[in-house]
Amino acid sequence: MKRKSNYPALVLHGGAWDIPDDLVEAHFVGIRKALHIGWKILKNGGSSVDAVEKTITNMEDNPTFDAGKGSFLNALGEIELDASIMNGKTFRAGAVAAVKNIRNPISLARMIMDKSEHILLVGIGAIRFAKEHGITPCAMEDLLIGRELQRWLELQKEPLSSTKDVFRSQKKKNIPSGTVGVVAMDCNRNICAGTSTGGTPNKYPGRVGDSPLIGCGTYADNDIGGVSTTGWGEAMIKVVMAKTIIDIMEQSNGNGNVAAEKGIELLQKKASGYGGAITLNIYGEIGIAFNTPRMARGYITAGMKKPIIEV
Amino acid sequence: MKRKSNYPALVLHGGAWDIPDDLVEAHFVGIRKALHIGWKILKNGGSSVDAVEKTITNMEDNPTFDAGKGSFLNALGEIELDASIMNGKTFRAGAVAAVKNIRNPISLARMIMDKSEHILLVGIGAIRFAKEHGITPCAMEDLLIGRELQRWLELQKEPLSSTKDVFRSQKKKNIPSGTVGVVAMDCNRNICAGTSTGGTPNKYPGRVGDSPLIGCGTYADNDIGGVSTTGWGEAMIKVVMAKTIIDIMEQSNGNGNVAAEKGIELLQKKASGYGGAITLNIYGEIGIAFNTPRMARGYITAGMKKPIIEV
């Protein structure tokens, strides 16, 4: 039986965690806006790479999510950002980690993918690359919002030293972790995946989670599919989450739902980890799985009259 | 048929590239010394984690290899180092990337594994962690050797802008790429893997290759085996080399040679990449594969009277 294809297709997430009730609506609206932007590009014949970049920049600019503006502060009260993008056709990828003063880390990641022989640039080296390629650094104030400054000030009152502790206190307080990620397939059946994050609240300076790591937070292969993950980065790294899900997808006749579910099961079993994943296979079929109380997510594919959005 | 077990076991590499004839002896001697150190620890009942750390610190201190002292300089004439270690029993891991002024990055990676909730720290954040945990930064001069200063000065005369170009010119000039890596299984059958590197010559500041990335340069899982890779980092990242080899090993009845060979085939096919990998499975069996002209490597397991060393 020939399988029906649903491309173009677009799926995205705005983080998996215990999103508090009063932020659900903002997540819902943010995802709808982002889907609208990416879908317009894909419907008009634009590339999956453009769709992923523009959808993510919109979510980075939206203070609802823990990416770009509105990101968590690290233990020093700084904002350090991570992002990655991978083109499933060319296998090229770009990523940045622990970069300060960059408004849209996903665009810098894409620039590294497009204009350099490297994949991952970190810290001041990534800033140097940005400046050399016409991206002007922003002020920290352009990324900082009152909600996060307040959270950081409160965290400084507590004698917490580890992310684990912060995550535990987060759980108690229902604080969301809003990494954003997108997977898209365009009219030419090219798949692209990308992820962007401010990391974890009060993280150690220079800490890098799974989001900017190809194979952990992001993966795309035109022959199999694309993945973006979200959750506790250290556990994701231990099981190399995105590549593991892609491999399961390859072995399960391209079933992205099964792959995402099995991947998240493995995350819990092997690394006691919590998080979520979105997938898209070569037929434009969407897969979503998470083992957290909530995950903000949405998708739309050819043939659908309107997007599905859930938080 | 019950499979014979060969533990403890130790395998290591000193880089895969076109090692010039006049450096072969130094690689041979360096690998013999490092094997001696790691084997002594394992034979005396020490842990695989200790064996990996101490074997690699010995190779970092040896200016023959591109790790620690003797590392390549980046485009700014700085030395930026990467390393990672993973414990196959606990799934804990530690890694550093783009760190300056650290004599033994593998020891800092281990300290992150042992003393923090994080896995990967980069740049100045990693240095901060080192200082807080009693590791005193060294001077750049402690890492710099005449051979590499000379190479860097020569590279500045050429109008090269990309690593690709540098790698091409390297090939012409037979310049070695000497990332080091170790996989060990101790008397308790615990597997550990680690990798350390100075990266590629004249790399962009802040560039991170596969070595410090769990799943790309290093992976260990007591249920399957351990892997360390070496070669052109960007291609390794694209195929998530170490985890891919572990997965193939799991599917091929634990055959680490087949897994390493298939992995390197995949590297060449999917990412036009060149490099090598060492593996060790749950029986203490060793696997080695590379598609470069040379790879410096050695191993010893229980039952062997003396190590096998080849360059």
Look at B240 and A164; give whichever has higher pLDDT.
B240
List strands edge to edge, sheet with B191-197. Answer: A207-208, B120-122, B93-99, B81-87, B191-197, B180-185, B9-17, B294-301, B308-310
Nearest CA among B25, B83, B84, B17 for reference residue B290: B17
Interface of B with A in 77-96 (CB under 8 A): 80, 91-93
DSSP B10-56: EEEEEEEE---HHHHHHHHHHHHHHHHHHHHHHHTT--HHHHHHHHH
Which of B163, B215, B247 is facing A118, going by the closest CB pair? B163
DSSP state of A221: E
In degrees and rounded to multiples of 5, residue A51 shows phi and psi of -60, -45
- β-sheet bridge partners, residue A147: none
Answer yes or no: are the C-beta atoms of A188 and A41 closer than 8 Å. Answer: no
Cβ contact (<8 Å) for A121 and B213?
no
Neighboring chain B residues of A92 at a CB cutoff of 8 Å: 238
> Are A98 and A197 a contacting pair, CB within 8 Å?
no
Q: Taking residues B174-185, what's their average pLDDT?
A: 80
User: Three-class SS of residue A153?
Assistant: helix
B172 pLDDT tier (thresholds 50, 70, 90): very low
Instruction: Say which of A116, A126, A214 has its CB closest to residue B237.
Output: A214
Q: What gap in Å lies between CA B178 and CA B231, rounded to an integer?
A: 9
- Tell me whether the omega of the peptide bond preceding residue A137 falls within 30 degrees of 0, making it cis: no
At residue A64, the pLDDT reads 94
In which band, very low, low, confident or very high, does the pLDDT at B18 lie, cut at 50, 70 and 90? confident
- B151: tokens are 């190479």
Q: Quick check: B165 pLDDT over 70? A: no
Residues B244, A244: C-beta atoms closer than 8 Å: no
pTM for this model (two decimals): 0.95
Q: What is the pLDDT of residue A13?
A: 97
CA-closest candidate to residue A99, choices A88, A107, A91: A107
For the residues B71-78, what does the mean pLDDT come to? 96
- Reported as type and span, the H/E element at residue A175 is none
Active-site pick, B57, B64, B179, B195: B179
Q: Which whole number is the average pLDDT over B91-118? A: 97
pLDDT reported for residue B57 = 98
Distance CA B288, CA B263 (A): 11
Superfamily covering domain B9-310: (Glycosyl)asparaginase (3.60.20.30)
Q: Which residues of A are less than 8 Å from B214 in CB distance? A: 216, 237-238, 240
In 3D, which of A172, A182, A45, A198 has the Cα closest to residue A110? A182
Residues forming a β-bridge with B17: B294
Smallest CA–CA separation between B117 and chain A, in Å?
6
pLDDT attached to residue B2: 62
A7, with CB counted inside 10 A (0-12, 13-18, 19+), is buried
CA atoms within 13 A on the CB side of A129: 35
Give chain A positions within 8 Å (CB) of B233. Answer: 119
Q: According to the model, what pLDDT value does residue A167 have?
A: 52
Cross-chain Cβ contact B206/A247 below 8 Å: no
B227 touches chain A (CB under 8 A): no
The yes-or-no verdict on residue B153 having pLDDT over 90 is: yes
Write down the pLDDT at residue B174: 41
Task: Please report the ipTM that was assigned to this predicted complex.
Answer: 0.94
How many other C-beta atoms can be found within 10 angstroms of the C-beta atom of residue A6? 19
Residue ranges, chain A, pLDDT below 70: 1-2, 159-177
Sorting pLDDT into bands at 50, 70 and 90, what band is B20? Answer: confident
- Give CA separation, A217 vs A69, A201, A211, in Å: 20, 18, 4
In this predicted structure, the answer to whether residue B171 has a pLDDT above a threshold of 80 is: no
Q: What is the mean pLDDT of residues B249-256?
A: 91
Chain A from 237 to 296: CB within 8 A of any B CB: 237-238, 240, 243-244, 247, 270-271
Residue B276: name the closest of B40, B4, B13 by CA. B13
Q: Chain B partners of A116 at a C-beta cutoff of 8 Å?
A: 162, 204
Residue B254 predicted with pLDDT over 70: yes
CB B119 to CB A91 under 8 A? no
Which positions in chain B touch A247 (Cβ < 8 Å)?
Answer: 244, 247
Amino acid occupying residue B35 = L
